[in-house]
Structure 1
Amino acid sequence: MAAAAVLGGTGSALSGGKFENGAVSGAFSRLFNDEIHSDSSQESNSDNKKRNRPLNVSVDYIGKIWSLPNTIIGLIYGGLGHLIGEVGQFFGLYTAEPSISFDNNAIQFENNPLMLSAMTLGNVIVYGNSTEMQPTSLRYNGAHTLGFEEMQHTYQAQILGPFYFPAHIVSGLSGLINNGNWHGGSAFLERGPHRRRPTAW
């Protein structure tokens, strides 16, 4: 994913365009390409899902485009943290190795020094550097991973689009005021993702 972004940005710059525009285009080309070619065992066992795959992919594309403002903010925030982490590690000030991966319907920035827990911004997930805050960290005694939990927020973002940020703030404040916790029971955007079997809603 990072290589696709760098190649896209470099190609754009060489042809007289802006590096950042090419980088975003390259990253999303990779994101969409992986989405098309991903195939779960459940889908391969279902004729109905196979027939509906083109429709599902089209809806997924539209959702990712609709959520693009959130994703761009996530790329800037995650990318800045990644750069700080790389520089910090180079000078021996940061021990965890920052990395970028593609999984859980998102571009993932792992071991990010600007994040203490985990946060989803559109189709970007930024993880902190603790062992409990990794994409593969187990939740609910191994019922699912943190990455799968955060993936539910990417689906929320694809539905809500630019309204995701304000809705998430209202959701978190509702949980904070009524339950004393940003992820409390009144936080309507946290209910589904925090179930033992996570869902978007």
Structure 2
Amino acid sequence: MTHVFRSLLAALAATCTFALGACGGAVAESPPLEGATIGGDFTLTGKDGKPVRWADFDGKYRIVYFGYTFCPDVCPIDMQNIGLGVRQFNKEHPDLAGKVVPLFITIDPQRDTPQVVGAFAANFGPSVVGLTGTQAQIDAVAKKWAVFHSRRDGSSPDAYLMDHSRGVFLMGPKGEPIALLPAEKDAKSVATELAKWVH
């Protein structure tokens, strides 16, 4: 399954416009995802079974990650780096603490009930919000973020894996795309990138 997680799908690459001049560091950087046509409004379901809307997080920087709780390897590691990275960022920038909210959106709503996804999200920090919904809702949200996901059947109806693209999106207070966070590296890298964009 690891080959699926090497990078975001070509669809994401096609929608994201990167400013080459921003990579040099000699001049002020523009957000790498500035102007990208990803993200958008949604209504999903939180851990208590109540609706959670994208607009509920207006005014906050949102970290958006798509995965599933039964993921055997990549998702828990990425979420751990996100959670620890946010914690480190808050410690180093107490004046900005509380301005960042991580969202974990399942791509496996069949197994990830509100209670399951809520408990999973809580493992990575009190500010992490776990979200699920109907399959149609999840498919629609994943499409807005250009996230690929596909079920790979196993030996029984409940023993299956989900293939999905890997990306950690930092969205701004108005819901605008800012950058991809390097959660595949470590928590320090996440905190460093947050410090670059969160003000």
Is the shorter-chain TM-score for this pair beyond 0.5, marking a shared fold?
A: no
- Relative CO higher for 1 or 2, CA cutoff 8 Å, sep ≥ 6? 2
More strand by share: 2
> TM class by shorter-chain length?
under 0.3
Q: Which has the larger radius of gyration?
A: 1
Query: Normalised by the size of structure 1, how large is the TM-score?
Result: 0.26
